[in-house]
Amino acid sequence: MDNVDLNVLRQVAQWQHEGRAVVLGTITRTWGSAPRPVGSVVAVRDDGQIAGSVSGGCIEDDLIARIRDGALQLAAPSVVRYGVGAEEATRFGLPCGGTLELVLEPLQPASQIDELLRRLDAGERVQRELRLADGAVQLRAPQAGADVVQLSEDRLITHHGPQWRLLIIGAGQLTQYLAQMALALDYQVLICDPRSEYELHVPGTTLTREMPDDTVLSFAPDGHSAIVALTHDPKLDDLALMEALKSPAFYVGAIGSRVNQAKRRARLAEHFDVSQAQLARLHGPVGLHIGARTPPEIALAILAHMTAERYGVQLSSSQLGSGAESGCAI
């Protein structure tokens, strides 16, 4: 669940506290093209007020009309489909031929929205199991490798909370922007800087004073993890990169000019037993080549490259390797 849908849950909780009836819609399946991914949510209040989206607006309009006509006074969760044919797909704002399946859930105290938000605010990742027969909900820790959404004849299982993690080495000015933007993209962010002179507080992140190589090991990177070194200090950056490049992290990057990146690669190979195959995974200069110069621009370049890597987008050599170079001469 991304931050957009998390905001929907917060709005839902507020409506419930006000005593309003709410129906929550969750995308459980799509065929062909669809405007929003599986797991996206929309909420409709009893007077037609809406939060979130699952289409270009036509499905939302249909849900509002159903609410106002009294057609969504559900006793239990219900599965509906939109865009079965090309004509209906066009009507509901879906690309031609697209089909979208929703579970519409009338919320109640047993829906456990408040408890779900409490766990998400604590940084947990949560599996929510909805029983279709009566709307009862169980919350538990997710199983490793579980799908984002699983719909069967009797239950809907969704997963909520940060799925992606980012470890930033260094607590300088650039880190502030990179961390803030990463939070908006649904990353769980850990900042590491053992230097007491560098103090940084970014709400929603954690700061550790451990040595970078120890932090990488305790971070236990997996295929949903990114590690970016930003200190400009080889004694710190190289230690983190040594462990990061040997991990399954999907993205490992370091700031610095091309000249210094070449020196870094030589050090890592000679002194830290990093293989050429592992060195080939290092993105440095880090980020996309967008002419970035200021800290927020460089942070944008880094996150744009991370996003491309997440989705397996193949980029040309002219797009790579200069995202942070122009803003960093060392």
Same domain for 229 and 315, yes or no, is yes
Same domain for 155 and 174, yes or no, is no
- 13 lies in a domain? yes
What pLDDT digit, counting tens, does each position of 155-198 carry?
999 988 777 899 999 999 999 999 999 998 889 899 999 999 99
Cα–Cα distance measured from residue 239 to residue 283, given in angstroms and rounded to the nearest whole number: 16
- In degrees, to the nearest 5, what angle opens at C-alpha 20 toward C-alphas 161 and 83? 65
Number of domains in the chain: 2
Same domain for 198 and 143, yes or no, is no
Which amino acid, one-letter code, is at 303? L
Same domain for 140 and 180, yes or no, is no
CATH classification at residue 265: 3.40.50.720
Same domain for 270 and 144, yes or no, is no
Give the domain extent around 8: 3-160
Residue 275 has pLDDT above 90, yes or no: yes
pLDDT of residue 318: 63
Same domain for 232 and 284, yes or no, is yes
Q: Which of 31-40, 158-167, 180-189, 283-292 has the lowest mean pLDDT?
A: 31-40
Residue-averaged pLDDT of the chain:
87
Same domain for 128 and 100, yes or no, is yes
Same domain for 144 and 232, yes or no, is no
- 327 lies in a domain? no
Same domain for 245 and 190, yes or no, is yes
Same domain for 126 and 179, yes or no, is no
Domain boundary among 160, 186, 214: 160
Residue 322 has pLDDT above 80, yes or no: no
Domain boundary among 160, 195, 215: 160
Average pLDDT of 101-126?
Answer: 92
Domain boundary among 140, 160, 180: 160
